[in-house]
A and B are shown apart, each in its own frame.
Chain A
C-alpha cells in the first residue's frame, strides 16, 4: 500500500470540458448556439421584460407577466405565506401567472442532504419541469434559491457535456417531452428587484422608518455566481443587489453586518437530522451578530431554507438567554405587507416562530384585529360555509 504523503505536491491540472468554471459568463448565448445545432429547444422570453445586470455585467431580461411558478417544497410545506405572498404581489400588480400541478420540486434539498440521486436524475427532473412550463406557454419563475442555483448548475452541466444531453434527451423522449431550457433562469427575487420601483409606488404602509438586515442566500449567488444580479449602485456592486434593492426602494434602511457572507446554517441534512449545528450557526454567526452590530427591526432574505433556519433556530437560543429575537421573513412577505397584504390571510405569519408583532406595530398594523379577522375566516371554514379560502378572500 502506498503510504499517504504529508507533503503537498504541486497542483495538478485536470483535463476538463470547461476550461474554467467561471468562464461561462453568457449561458444564454451557449444555449442558443446549441439550439441552432438542433441539440435542444430554448424557451424564449415572449412578453414585456425588464433588464437587470448580472455580476460581470451581462444584461439579463426578466419577463414581467405570464409566468409559470416553480414552487418550493419548503416554502409551501412549512412557511406557506412565502409562496402566497409572491402570488399575491403578482395579482396586486396585475400580472398573470400559472400555479401548476404538473410541477415537482427540484429534489435538490434531498440531493444536497442525502446524495441519493445523481447528475442525470437531477438534470432530468429539471428539464421535465422546464418542459412542463414550455408546454404551458408560460415562462418559468423559480421560487426557491436552491432550485434556482441548482438549475443553473444543471444548465452548465448540460451545456458542457454532450453525453448528459443525450441521456436526458432519451429520458425526455420516454416522457414525450423535449429537451428544453428557458432563455434565462429567473429567481422570484430578481423579478421583485426588476419591478421594485413599480412595487414601491403601490405601497400603502410607511416602511421608511424601518431598519433591516439582509441575508443573501448562498445558493442564489454562490452557485454559478456569474448569473446572479448585481448593481453598481447597491453595495458598490460587491454583493448581490436583490432583496437590498427592493428594501431600499421601499424606503427601508438596510444595515450591514460583518458576517453577511456566512451561510444561515441550514446545511440541508443538518436542519433535519443534525440541528445542533444549524441552531448554533444561525444564532451565533448570524442573528446575534446582526442584533449586536445592526439591531434591525427585521431580517430579510430570499430563500426557503434561510427563512426557516434563521426564524426557527431562535427559540432554543432564546431559552438560553442569548441575544436573539428578530423577526425573519422573505422579501416577498415584507413587500406584500408594505402593499397592504393581511399578515395572516396572505403572509401567514402564524407559521413563523420569532416574534414578528413588534415589527407589525411599527408598520402600523393592528395584529390583534388582524388575528381576529383570520379567526373569523377559520370559523367560516369550520361551519361549512366555505370549504376553502380563495384569492377573493384576501384582497388580491
Chain B
C-alpha cells in the first residue's frame, strides 16, 4: 500500500493519489526540508504570530470565495509545522491566492498572504510541479520584466490575447504606434516598454538579478527562458565592462 493510500485508509487528511494530484509524493524529509526553507526566510517570523481561529482572514479573502483556498489553513499549517499539509498547500493552494493582502485584517497580526509569497518562492526555487504549471503562459511576462525593467508593455494589448476585454483592445493594437506618439509625455512614446528605460539603468537591474540569485530561480522553472535571459544579461554586462 502506498503512503498516500495508507493515509486515506486511516481517515487522515484527504491527500490525493499522485496520479490524481498531478504531482509526486515525496518523503517526509523532503517536505521537512522545504518547510525549513520557508521558515528560514527572514520575513517568516514577522508574518506569523499564532492564530485565534476567528476566520476573519477567510471572510476577507477574495480567493476563498472562488476557490478551495483558505488563508487560515495556510497560517495554521505553518504554525503547527504540519509539513505534510504545507507541502500539499505548496502543490495545490498557493497559486490561487490573489496577493491582495486583505488577510492582513488578522487581529493577531498574521500575514497569510506573505506566508504564501514565501511558499511560492520556495516552490519556484525547488522547481515544484505547481510552480511550473502556474508559470505556463507566463514566460513572456517574466522575460519582459527581467529584461526591460517594465512588466506591462503597450504591445501586449493584442485582441487574441485579451478577447474578453472588448473591441477597444483591437483599436489599441491597430493604432499602437500612432497613439503612443500622440502621448504628451516624452518618455511614453515607446511601444515595447511602458516607458523609455536608460541602458545604464538596465545594466544596473541585471546586476541586481544576478547578484540576488533571481536568474538562477528562473532555471528551476523554465530552462529555455533562463538561457535566453542569461545570454542577454551577460552580453549586456560584458559590453558595459562589468564582471560579477
B60 interface residue per 8 A CB criterion: yes
Give the residue of A18, A171, A269, A285 whose beta carbon is less than 8 angstroms from that of B95: A269
Cβ–Cβ < 8 Å partners of A219 in chain B: 100-101
B149 interface residue per 8 A CB criterion: yes
Nearest CB on B from A53, distance (A): 20
B208 touches A77 (CB 8 A): no
In Å, the complex CA distance between A15 and B39 comes to: 11
B235 interface residue per 8 A CB criterion: no
Cβ–Cβ < 8 Å partners of A348 in chain B: 183
Band of interface residues on A: 35 or more
A128 touches B204 (CB 8 A): yes
A117 touches B154 (CB 8 A): no
B17 interface residue per 8 A CB criterion: no
A369 interface residue per 8 A CB criterion: no
Nearest CB on B from A268, distance (A): 5
B124 touches A161 (CB 8 A): no
Q: How many A-B residue pairs have CB under 8 A?
A: 319
Give the residue of B51, B175, B179, B194 whose beta carbon is less than 8 angstroms from that of A105: B194
For B43, B164, B204, B208, the residue with the greatest tally of chain A CB atoms inside 10 Å of its CB is: B208
B188-224 CB contact bits vs A (8 Å, 1 = yes)?
Answer: 1100011111101110110111011110011001000
Closest A residue to B152 by beta carbon equals A77
Cβ–Cβ < 8 Å partners of B109 in chain A: 20-22
A222 touches B100 (CB 8 A): yes
A218 touches B145 (CB 8 A): no
Interface residues of B in 155-174 (CB under 8 A from A): 156-157, 162, 164-166, 168-169, 171-172
In Å, the complex CA distance between A100 and B150 comes to: 14
A374 touches B182 (CB 8 A): yes
B104 interface residue per 8 A CB criterion: yes
In Å, the complex CA distance between A352 and B172 comes to: 10
A195 interface residue per 8 A CB criterion: no
Closest B residue to A348 by beta carbon equals B183
Given A263-B98, A353-B168, do A73 and B151 touch, yes or no (CB 8 Å)? yes
Cβ–Cβ < 8 Å partners of B108 in chain A: 11
Give the residue of B3, B164, B188 whose beta carbon is less than 8 angstroms from that of A275: B164
A201 interface residue per 8 A CB criterion: no
Cβ–Cβ < 8 Å partners of B120 in chain A: 114-115
Given A117-B214, A263-B62, A348-B183, do A101 and B135 touch, yes or no (CB 8 Å)? no
B178 interface residue per 8 A CB criterion: yes
Cβ–Cβ < 8 Å partners of B207 in chain A: 171, 174-175
Give the residue of A11, A113, A115, A272 whose beta carbon is less than 8 angstroms from that of B50: A11
A345 interface residue per 8 A CB criterion: yes
In Å, the complex CA distance between A83 and B51 comes to: 41
B79 interface residue per 8 A CB criterion: yes
Band of interface residues on B: 35 or more
Given A382-B178, A389-B182, A396-B184, do A20 and B43 touch, yes or no (CB 8 Å)? no
The segment out of A41-49, A206-214, A276-284, A360-368 that lies at the interface is A276-284
In Å, the complex CA distance between A128 and B189 comes to: 24
Given A316-B164, A393-B184, do A388 and B189 touch, yes or no (CB 8 Å)? yes
Given A77-B156, A119-B43, do A269 and B166 touch, yes or no (CB 8 Å)? no
Interface residues of A in 200-244 (CB under 8 A from B): 218-219, 222-223, 225
Nearest CB on B from A34, distance (A): 17
A263 touches B100 (CB 8 A): yes
Closest B residue to A112 by beta carbon equals B99
A16-45 CB contact bits vs B (8 Å, 1 = yes)?
Answer: 111011100000000000000000000000
- 18 further A-B pairs in the complex, CB-CB below 8 A; given A102-B201, A348-B183, A391-B185: A4-B12, A20-B49, A75-B194, A76-B188, A80-B183, A83-B185, A87-B185, A100-B187, A125-B208, A128-B204, A167-B212, A218-B101, A267-B62, A277-B98, A350-B171, A352-B168, A390-B186, A396-B184
The residues of B with any CB-CB pair to A shorter than 8 Å are 3, 7, 10, 12-13, 27-28, 41-53, 60, 62-63, 65-67, 76, 79-85, 95, 98-102, 104-105, 108-109, 111, 117, 120-121, 123-124, 131, 134-138, 141-142, 145-146, 149-154, 156-157, 162, 164-166, 168-169, 171-172, 175, 178-189, 193-198, 200-202, 204-205, 207-209, 211-214, 217-218, 221
A–B complex contacts, Cβ < 8 Å, 27 sampled = A1-B27, A1-B84, A3-B84, A5-B82, A11-B108, A77-B153, A77-B193, A78-B154, A83-B188, A87-B184, A103-B197, A104-B150, A119-B43, A157-B43, A167-B212, A262-B62, A267-B63, A269-B134, A312-B165, A345-B182, A348-B183, A350-B168, A351-B172, A353-B165, A353-B168, A378-B179, A381-B181
